[in-house]
Amino acid sequence: MIGAHPDDADIMAGGTAALFRRGGHAVKLVSVTNGEAGHHLKHGPELAAIRKEEARRAGAVIGAEYDVLPFRDGRLEPSFEARCAIIRLIREFRPDLVLTHRPNDYHPDHRYVSQLVCDAAYMVTVPAIVPEVPIVRDNPAIAYVADRFQRPYPFTPRVVVDIEPVLETVVDMLCCHRSQFFEWLPWNHQIEDQMPQTEAGQREWLGQLYRDRIAWLADAFRELAVTAYGPERGRDIRWLEAFEPCEYGRPWDAALIRRLFPFCSERDSSC
């Protein structure tokens, strides 16, 4: 799961990550930038060290590695150097599935991470590029995580995952990113006056914030949930993560979806 910043992978696909780990699968969470710019009081190496440790703790909640690459937060470019870093990452981990941001997003780092993953998709099979790392013969499947941006087209998932069984685990992961969810983002969104003063209160506050963030998915893609999980369960699902196949990488079909998402009830072409 390749995000732009420490905490992006968790908030965009932490539930699916937890379900994969529960099923015994290997999971790697990645932040392409070092997170050094995401705070109103702390910056640079001090903040980068804090966020790297927060990411490590978040990954440890589910027993997953959390890599933080050294590219500078807020200054990411879709450079050849960065592309080679993503190629190297994919070749070394050899994933079946890569999740990342969509190409259009409010944050330039998000957009460029998406471009870098797409740019790496074919090149992971080319021996002359990053020759010191053995190639993968088969591209991983690539999918985009959910967002609400409408241009040039709205998010169009083919896979939905019921994450209610691991929802509290995701909240535990998010709570590890204290500098973000309890300091920077409340200040940035001008809601710092809402922050409770106790750890228990902060966890409850963040849990509700997270639920509010993802609540739209179940209603927006209810038909897909019913197709995926059957009418009885599908109508009752409240908390989903959803994924849109990327046309680069391995081609998607029903058989691939069934193999990639074994914890779902597969019906038709959905997860």
Q: What is the pLDDT of residue 43?
A: 95
Which residue ranges make up each domain of the chain?
Answer: 2-260
Q: What is the pLDDT of residue 267?
A: 43
Contact yes or no for 86/120 (Cβ under 8 A): yes
Beta-bridge mates of residue 243? 145, 159
Strand order in the sheet with 240-249: 65-71, 28-33, 2-3, 97-100, 141-145, 240-249, 159-162
Q: What is the pLDDT of residue 159?
A: 96
2-260: what CATH class? alpha beta
Q: What is the pLDDT of residue 17?
A: 98
Average pLDDT value for residue range 241-268: 85
Percent of the chain predicted with pLDDT > 70: 97
- H or E element, residue 216: helix 199-220
Asked if residue 112 has pLDDT above 80, the reply is: yes
pTM for this model (two decimals): 0.95
- Cα 9 to Cα 217: distance, rounded to the nearest angstrom: 17
Average per-residue pLDDT for the chain: 95
Asked if residue 64 has pLDDT above 90, the reply is: yes
pLDDT digits (tens, 9 = 90+) for 209-247: 999 999 999 999 999 999 999 999 999 999 999 999 999
pLDDT digits (tens, 9 = 90+) for 143-202: 999 999 999 999 999 999 999 999 999 999 999 999 999 999 999 999 999 999 999 999
